[in-house]
A and B are shown apart, each in its own frame.
Chain A
Amino acid sequence: MESAVSQRELARGSISKSRRYASLVPYAFVAPAVILYATFKLLPIVAGLYLAQLRWDGLNPAEYVGFANFSRIFQDDLVLLALKNNVMYAFGTVIGKITLSLALALLLHQGLRGRGFYRTALFMPVVMSFVVVGILWRWMYNSQFGLVNAAFRALGLERLIQNWLADPKVALGSLIAVDIWKWYGFHMVIFLAGLQSIPYEYYEAARIDGATRVRQFLSITLPLLAPVMLVNVTTSLMGGFNVFDIPFVMTEGGPANSTLVLALHIYLRGFKFYRFGYAAAMSYALLVLVVVITAVQLKLMSRNLGAQ
């Protein structure tokens, strides 16, 4: 009798042991990814907070300065200028990308011949490297032998010829146009996916009711695309505030700081002036700014979604 009990206990014990091991298996599978993420993402974020409280030039011993680096942000005139440029850049790119990509998505959603080719061709800039795009457009914008001015000349539109990257008044706009060109394909594909998810019957019913194409767009397409619009606007807005590559490659923030954006300002302070602590502090400030703006935008847009 006793031995039967102990055998049952033993069996139960081994079952619970194997269950315990089984419960560990999923964790073992995700462990490499978690460890890598913790090491290369979370740890630097935490370490960066500490770095933001130091004055360190990369060579001499670091000095702890508390929140001085953060308070300094408010006294830095260039931060304000860069922020203003970022706001203009973000709004310019969001409006441009969303309008263009939606228009193209609507076109490609029609039964167009060679649709696959157009989709691929329009998506191409997305897969190109930022550096390639920057250099390519720098040449295209060249006021003497660039393609843009040459095209205007050929079309007899001489009054539109500009010093695209040399004139502080138009340089930021020129970069915005490049950003739009680089990314509209990405947003277009997302819009296309959204358009394909709208049931055809809605349009059929609307047509029977006598709705015009514009009315169908305003009352069916646009409202039902709202969730996709939310994704597109959010990613585009965040990209607009985090932009670095295009101004870095094309203008280095010039002429006369007219294309200086926050990420570039941070890079310069960190890697050119060796103010790693201050650069880290500004990075956190930028993070907070992007989070706040995105949260506000998500709140506003989801309220509209809820109302619909």
Chain B
Amino acid sequence: MRKSISRRSFLRLAGISAVTLLAACRPATPATSEPASEAEPQAPAQEEPQAYTGKFVVMSASAVEHIIPLIEEFQEKHPGVDVDWRNLTSERFTELFAAAEVAGDQIDLFAMNGQDFRRYAVADRLMDLSHLDYLDRFRPVSVDTYTFQGKVLALPRGAISPWVLFYNRNALEAIGVTEEISTYDELKEIAPALKDAGYEVMSHEGQVLYMWPVWHFILHAQTSGNTSVERCVATLQGEIKFTDEAYLESFRWLERYAKDEMFISDVLSTDRDGAQRALETGRAAFWHNWPGIIRNYREAQEAGEQQELELDLMPALQVVDGAKREVPGGVGTCCAIYKRIDPVRLDLAFDFLDLMTSDKWVEHAVKIGNEAVASNVNVEASDDPLAIKYGETCAPLNIIYEDWYWPPEITRSFQEGEQAIVAGTMTPEQAAQANQDVLDELFEEGYEFLS
């Protein structure tokens, strides 16, 4: 009797094999392991705990190159430990982190951007670091940034680097302006002469959606009477609306910039490199940016390039009389311990955190970036005259980016709305209403802002 296997049996068999295969591939460490503080110790109670050897994983938003010497020092101190620095990149940090966590990958430490801090703080993924005895090594403002519900959940690392307005002194001198301008009206007055001299006014990477809210931060700081962050929190708590006058006025100013043709003509298709090149090549006279470009500028100067540019900087332009010209920023990067870390690596994590945020390595980081103000009190940043000017005149005006508080839906809504205002496809009123609609929808879904 011939007995052949039916198609159905085969498919069933294949299905079972697939499920078995998946089960076999399941990670040994469950994704939702208990927080380290509550988990059972792994080593037998009676034996002397062995020093951990093996992989130590840092989930990072940046490349490893600048941190290699630090890692080498750490590995020398802990023989057998292999630091696995995973660059998830700034743009894809959250999605790749989610994938790693769901897959049950080993995660020990965060080295992330400030804008992502809140997501992990709210989701209870960060270990409380309030008890650390070296918190006084940081400037208070930088520790405050990473304090959530009264607990220090991450440590600042690097520079405090708010956005400022860079400009080309050659451009102003070409039209006979020798004094630094400081108001929008002054800018508007000199704009025709600048254009006649072959300069466009303001460079901006308008193709990059996530850069648009910077304009709102700068303008809202003044239209709100320098209470933009407080108003941001109040808005997310439902106490005021995105359609309130200060928000609207910030959008109206942006519209004015666009209608007065202050932006470079192809602003909506200009990417970051393009925006930077516009300033460097003398096409545009002004550009809002963080101080990282000072270093590039000096290097280019040494190489005999960028003859058209004589870089200088100032805080944002005055648009509202009497308001402080605040500049948005913060300590851009922070380090934290994953709350669900395996307890056998907890001591290592604290040790690595201490090393990363130590004066020695923060100084190393800020020198590489030619930064002006470091997160650590005792770290002297760059002695470049531009960096010093920045540190003295702009850094004290720093306010935290509002989008560090916003849920991502609001951030996107602002990005789209501001781009649309400049494109002329939305009015400030429509853009503000769109933001409020998104927030209302979030409230309906149960969104609650935790401060």
Contact = CB atoms under 8 A, between A and B. Distances in A.
Interface of A: 16, 19-20, 23-24, 27, 31, 34-35, 38-39, 43, 58-60, 138, 141-144, 163-168, 251-258, 268, 271-274
A254 B94 CA distance: 22
Contact of B283 (A23, A138, A144, A271): A144
Contact of B416 (A19, A39, A257): A257
Contacts of A252: 207-209
Interface in B114-141: 119-120, 123, 125
Contacts of B264: 144
B378 interface: no
B419 interface: yes
Given A24-B5, A59-B98, A256-B425, A35 B269 contact: no
B98 A58 contact: yes
Contacts of B5: 23-24, 27
Interface string B204-220: 00111100000000000
Interface of B: 1-5, 10-11, 14-15, 17-18, 21-22, 92, 94-95, 98, 101-102, 119-120, 123, 125, 206-209, 264-271, 274, 283, 408-409, 412, 416, 419-420, 422-423, 425-426
Contact of B269 (A31, A58, A165, A257): A165
Given A38-B18, A59-B125, A144 B207 contact: no
B207 A256 contact: no
B3 A274 contact: no
A266 B4 CA distance: 46
A142 to B, nearest CB: 7
A2 B12 CA distance: 42
A274 B408 CA distance: 8
A142 B426 CA distance: 24
B269 A20 contact: no
A273 B438 CA distance: 12
17 contacts: A19-B4, A23-B2, A27-B10, A35-B18, A58-B94, A142-B269, A165-B268, A166-B266, A166-B267, A166-B268, A251-B207, A254-B209, A256-B416, A256-B426, A268-B412, A274-B98, A274-B408
A51 to B, nearest CB: 11
A251 B209 CA distance: 9
List 8 A-B pairs, minimum CB-CB distance, nearest first: A166-B268, A58-B98, A256-B420, A165-B269, A143-B266, A166-B269, A23-B4, A59-B123
Contacts of B1: 16
A164 B2 contact: no
B206 A43 contact: no
A273 B274 contact: no
Nearest to B418: A256
A255 B419 contact: yes
A39 B19 CA distance: 8
A100 to B, nearest CB: 25
B136 to A, nearest CB: 32
A138 B2 CA distance: 65
B85 to A, nearest CB: 22
B14 A34 contact: yes
Kindly name the residue among B15, B92, B206, B264 whose own CB sees the greatest number of chain A CB atoms within 10 A. Answer: B15
Nearest to A144: B266
Contacts of A273: 408-409, 412
Contact of B102 (A39, A58, A258): A58
A255 B423 CA distance: 7
A138 B272 CA distance: 13
A220 B92 CA distance: 54
Contacts of A251: 207, 269
Contacts of B2: 16, 19-20, 23
A138 B269 contact: yes
B203 to A, nearest CB: 11
Contacts of B265: 143-144, 163
Contacts of B98: 58-59, 274
Contact of A272 (B15, B207, B412): B412
A272 B14 contact: no
A38 B412 contact: no
